[in-house]
Amino acid sequence: MQNKSNIRDLTAGNPMGLIFGFAMSLFWGMLFQQLYNIIDTAIVSWFIGKEAYTGVGTTGAVNFLIMGFCMGVCNGFAIPVAQRFGAKDFKSMRKFVSHAIILCSIFAVIMTFLVSVFCRQILVIMHTPEDVFEYAYGYIIVIFLGIPVTYMYNLLSGIIRALGDSKHPVQFLIAASVINIFLDLLFIIPLHMGITGAALATVISQGISGIMCLVFIIRKIDILHLKKKDWEPDRSHFLILLNMGVPMGLQYSITAIGNVILQTAINSMGTDAAAAVTTAVKVSMFFCIPFDALGSTMATYGGQNVGAKELEHLQQGLVAAVKLGCGYAILAFIVLYFFGRNLAMIFLSPEDVLCLDNAHLYLIVNSAFYIPLALVNIVRFLIQGMGFSMFAVLAGVMEMIGRTVVALVLVPIFGFPAICFASPIAWILADAFLIPAYISVKKKLKQIFDRQVVTY
């Protein structure tokens, strides 16, 4: 029997309540995941050393470049599922699910082969410091070999969320994070597997969370049970998925290219600068969870409401999400301004005065621009959910331009302070594109829906 209690229709009801409730479920899972990331990084720093910790940090940009594409593709593939669910067209919805599985399998095989072969060359091009190079390579090569499980978890959890259930993917993520911490301690301390053990723990735990999602779908969500006819190839479904998924994947990757260029500039400044940025990014990621949760919420919210042709409800949801995002942004800035240095000391020794000062400066400057970041996440993901993924690519290009200009022009002149302004500049440029894009997209959809009503 189908369990409908956690499948949520986001096309009716108070938008503030719907968005807040859905986002809070995502928030707790993302919060726990970031707590795990902090513990994971701390374990590496404490038991392997500062060089290993910094080595993992230097892989962050290229990690996001590749894994971001995987996540973006999967999020894009979930949008047609959300739209068909909102339209109550379950037959087409199941066909999108089956075709998404096929495409993800193909992407996973090709990407795993390519990035594994060229992994070392990528780190060389990024000017990874010699004293942390082998740590960086030992970690990222294992992560890249785990690309198939990254696709599995992100696709299945995205499909579950597309049906309005943000609760269970979070539960599976929390369970996997606990397993990850246990495996970190096991592989690093008694088994002495070093940085490879930390990466292996991440891959194994993500695979377990993917299996949990699969078992849940099989046992609890009857409308997702695929039949033989659902697997029959349909060119139109493949094209729609590719048109949704690839642009979203490219948006992540294009944004990450700017991060890679910036990370290269950071690496050229030495290990201390890399350690400061690694620390600040770890803390900042923790405080950015609500923005990520709002973004993921608006993708599902936009998909369901467009499927149901509820544009006014969609607009009300945007206003509600912006209020939530801006309110939190102000609170986060206050906390990081006064306590950012103390939080950085989770990873760095009090004796690392320069690193702590730079990490705190990074946190203050970035958090001062969290309102533009909130708008980037909310508007971009809403547009994607509405079915216009190509705009996400263009927004990603704006972010890439911002970070690239800072890395190539401003960092050589102003040094570390310029690095602190890279993301804020990127966010502002993305907003300058996304806000007019949303207005245009909404107008276009209204015209389409009006024509459909007249035709009917």
pLDDT value at position 247? 82
Give the rounded percent of residues in the chain with a pLDDT score beyond 90. Answer: 40
User: Mean pLDDT over all residues of the chain?
Assistant: 86
What Cα–Cα distance (Å) separates residue 83 from each residue in 63, 227, 301, 310, 397? 30, 21, 9, 11, 27
What Cα–Cα distance (Å) separates residue 116 from each residue in 165, 372, 435? 34, 36, 38
16 has pLDDT over 90? yes
pLDDT tens digits along 393-412: 788 889 989 999 999 999 99
User: What CA–CA distance (Å, rounded) separates 307 from 80?
Assistant: 9
Q: Which of 75-89, 143-157, 372-386 has the lowest mean pLDDT?
A: 75-89
29 has pLDDT over 90? no
pLDDT tens digits along 34-69: 776 677 777 777 777 767 767 777 777 778 778 888
452 has pLDDT over 70? no
8-state DSSP, 191: S
335 has pLDDT over 90? yes
If you write DSSP's letter for every residue of 414-449 in order, what string do you get?
Answer: H-HHHHHTHHHHHHHHHHHHHHHHHHHHHHHHHHHH
Residue carrying the six token digits 């704006």: 398
339 has pLDDT over 70? yes
User: What CA–CA distance (Å, rounded) separates 296 from 358?
Assistant: 31
Q: Mean per-residue pLDDT for 342-360?
A: 87
User: Which has the higher per-residue pLDDT, 380 or 30?
Assistant: 380
Taking a C-beta distance cutoff of 8 angstroms, is the pair 176, 212 a contact?
A: yes
Residues 6+ apart with CB under 8 A from 211: none
For 273, the token pair is 């600068």
- How many angstroms from the chain centroid is the CA of residue 406? 23
The SS3 call for residue 368 is coil
Domain spans in the chain, listed from the N-terminal domain onward: 15-455
286 has pLDDT over 80? yes
pLDDT value at position 43? 78
Position 5: which residue type? S
- The phi, psi pair for 418, rounded to 5°, reads -65, -35
pLDDT value at position 453? 53
pLDDT tens digits along 148-191: 999 999 999 999 988 888 788 888 888 888 888 889 889 988 88
Q: Mean per-residue pLDDT for 100-129?
A: 89
Q: What is the four-CA torsion angle of 291, 292, 296, 301, rounded to 10 degrees?
A: -10
